[in-house]
Chain A
């Protein structure tokens, strides 16, 4: 389709403004990370008057940034992949089968998004501790505990969103695959999953970011050895001083791999898979 000129221009202007909106705080973070601590709270300047890379060196010494980063990465990757996998199975059932309890399942899962998280925190903690005492499953203070928690947080939305994406995959596709001698699960993995890939990637990114950024539960469910970045960064705000420049330096540094990951994943967010295979 030929794009009219007005659309091309609106796109240029619109996307430029949106990029500016998205990146404005990033610019402030960059300049702040390059300032000596004493200058951080001084008058705003677009470019810092004195540039220093000290924060990027000091930040590793103030908190165990490397360990927090690894913790966050491990927890977020496992939780998001597991969440998408489980949600896909459930979404397939909801999207392709009529069965008793289907409505109940959907609505109950959704209702979990309505109770403020701060109020689960305490009961959840008590459940974890008691599981540890009675069954010897150590969930409190451990990575598995945090992984299960995040996994569960992202499941409801992941299921709902994936049902939407799966619904948009034409049913003729699984019918055809089933006719070709695949069982229902075979049809699912060979045809439906590839066709719903953009949706799966979107949900994966969402699940990863939820685990990556969660603060409240991580602050209570982790200890020093399992603490994640989102919480650990607050360690730069100490009793006596807040190392703003190091907070910014550390945040920028740890975000680089995540942004690169997006860059690699975003090419799966393209049309064509479905379009090409439906006739």
Chain B
């Protein structure tokens, strides 16, 4: 059984324990209330997310090419044909998908680690008031406020080989290398994409962690200080435990978003990414929107969904287990 939000269980026990009678009657009387509270979310999710997603799953079993896109019901059933096609790992198409998958896994892990570390450090540094804190926090959110199209294009300007800022600094001003490296194509393009993605993503993690730290009672830090804890120990023993449930969600969602990231690579590289930075979402885009073959694109998406579901289930199980151990 997957426990989505394990933390509250303990609290509930405590509550029912303290005044069992009232809690029981309240629970019975108000049984409809939680459902009523969920209703708007459920309706919206069904209409915009779940139903289109199920249609997407259905599409993966159809030979939904441009010949049938006008009249889906006429599209011949493909059975598992689309899946068989995309999973031919001994052919070029399957190899390309597998390559794209591994690239995405590496990309996601690195982006996730860097974004979280930067955000955590920045949130700890700005946790206690100092002069200019409001300004610094706002500056950190600037990358988030700029239209993604413009900011990603700007990065591609900066990373140009001949006229870019990065090579100007590295080669002309610092003289790190003589040969001007490429950043937008070839092996370095993977790292360039990571830098851009981290730049876009970390402010969000910073925001979420800052908000999480805001509700940690000051008394806990005071108590830790009385016990003689320094900065690092109070981070370890006060901040991190209090952020557990925020972090649990944050890391998972950052992972899911990064894995499915589309806008940044699409804007950064144009319609097709270099082999070294061919993320899975770009790959799916090319196999559906560009080619108008929605059958194979959907099959890839369903496989992706299954993979992410598995990762999420394992993640939730693991984070829950830790909770029990603790």
Q: Which of B96-146 contact A (CB under 8 A)?
A: 118, 121-122, 125-130, 134, 136-146
**Quick check: B41 and A15 within 8 Å, CB to CB?**
no
Q: Which of A81-116 contact B (CB under 8 A)?
A: 86-87, 89-90, 92-99, 101-103, 105-116
Provide the residues of chain A in CB contact with B14, threshold 8 Å.
171
With CB as the reference atom, state the residue of chain B lying closest to A12. B125
Provide the residues of chain B in CB contact with A114, threshold 8 Å.
256, 260, 304-305, 308-309, 312
**Quick check: B142 and A26 within 8 Å, CB to CB?**
yes
- The contact string, 1 if C-beta is below 8 Å from chain A, for chain B 255-285, is 0110010110001000000000000110011
Complex Cα–Cα for A81 and B199 (A): 26
A14, A97, A155, A247: the one within 8 Å of B41 (CB): A155
**Quick check: B125 and A116 within 8 Å, CB to CB?**
no
**Quick check: B211 and A116 within 8 Å, CB to CB?**
no
Complex Cα–Cα for A194 and B204 (A): 22
Provide the residues of chain A in CB contact with B148, threshold 8 Å.
213, 215, 230
With CB as the reference atom, state the residue of chain A lying closest to B253. A157
Provide the residues of chain A in CB contact with B203, threshold 8 Å.
22
Closest CB-CB distance, B240 to chain A, in whole Å?
Answer: 13
A3, A23, A195, A203: the one within 8 Å of B215 (CB): A195
**Quick check: A18 and B140 within 8 Å, CB to CB?**
yes
Closest CB-CB distance, A31 to chain B, in whole Å?
Answer: 10
**Quick check: B37 and A11 within 8 Å, CB to CB?**
no
**For the complex, is A184 an interface residue (Cβ under 8 Å from B)?**
yes
With CB as the reference atom, state the residue of chain B lying closest to A10. B125
> Contacts A114-B256, A123-B52 given: A15-B126 contact, CB under 8 Å?
yes
Provide the residues of chain B in CB contact with A113, threshold 8 Å.
253, 256-257, 260
B8, B47, B128, B262: the one within 8 Å of A167 (CB): B8
Q: Which of A145-197 contact B (CB under 8 A)?
A: 148-149, 151-153, 155-157, 159-161, 163-165, 167-169, 171, 175, 184, 195-196
Size of B's binding interface in residues, CB under 8 A: 122
> Contacts A107-B4, A230-B147 given: A25-B155 contact, CB under 8 Å?
yes
Q: Which of B206-257 contact A (CB under 8 A)?
A: 207-208, 210-219, 221-222, 225, 230-231, 234, 242, 245-246, 248-250, 252-253, 256-257
A32, A112, A124, A230: the one within 8 Å of B149 (CB): A230
Among B125, B225, B284, residue most surrounded by chain A Cβ atoms (within 10 Å): B125
Q: Which of A1-52 contact B (CB under 8 A)?
A: 1, 3-4, 7, 10-11, 14-15, 18-19, 21-26, 28-29, 32, 41-44
**For the complex, is A199 an interface residue (Cβ under 8 Å from B)?**
yes
Complex Cα–Cα for A167 and B245 (A): 8
With CB as the reference atom, state the residue of chain B lying closest to A111. B309
**Quick check: A258 and B49 within 8 Å, CB to CB?**
no
**For the complex, is B165 an interface residue (Cβ under 8 Å from A)?**
yes
Among B7, B141, B216, B218, residue most surrounded by chain A Cβ atoms (within 10 Å): B141
- The contact string, 1 if C-beta is below 8 Å from chain A, for chain B 9-25, is 00110110010000000
Provide the residues of chain A in CB contact with B324, threshold 8 Å.
none
A3, A209, A267, A269: the one within 8 Å of B144 (CB): A209
**For the complex, is B158 an interface residue (Cβ under 8 Å from A)?**
yes
Provide the residues of chain A in CB contact with B137, threshold 8 Å.
262, 266, 269
**For the complex, is A233 an interface residue (Cβ under 8 Å from B)?**
yes
**Quick check: A112 and B49 within 8 Å, CB to CB?**
yes
Closest CB-CB distance, A165 to chain B, in whole Å?
Answer: 7
> Contacts A117-B260, A118-B289, A119-B56 given: A251-B45 contact, CB under 8 Å?
no
Provide the residues of chain B in CB contact with A135, threshold 8 Å.
none
**Quick check: A152 and B163 within 8 Å, CB to CB?**
no
**For the complex, is A205 an interface residue (Cβ under 8 Å from B)?**
yes
**For the complex, is A241 an interface residue (Cβ under 8 Å from B)?**
no
Provide the residues of chain A in CB contact with B281, threshold 8 Å.
116, 118
**Quick check: B38 and A90 within 8 Å, CB to CB?**
yes
**Quick check: B301 and A86 within 8 Å, CB to CB?**
no
Provide the residues of chain A in CB contact with B150, threshold 8 Å.
29, 233, 247-248, 250-251
**For the complex, is B177 an interface residue (Cβ under 8 Å from A)?**
no
> Contacts A23-B142, A266-B137, A275-B218 given: A112-B126 contact, CB under 8 Å?
no
- The contact string, 1 if C-beta is below 8 Å from chain B, for chain A 223-265, is 0000001100110000000001001101110110011001100
With CB as the reference atom, state the residue of chain A lying closest to B22. A178
Complex Cα–Cα for A114 and B307 (A): 9
Can you list 6 pairs linking A and B with CB atoms under 8 Å apart?
A: A196-B215, A206-B207, A230-B147, A247-B149, A248-B154, A272-B214
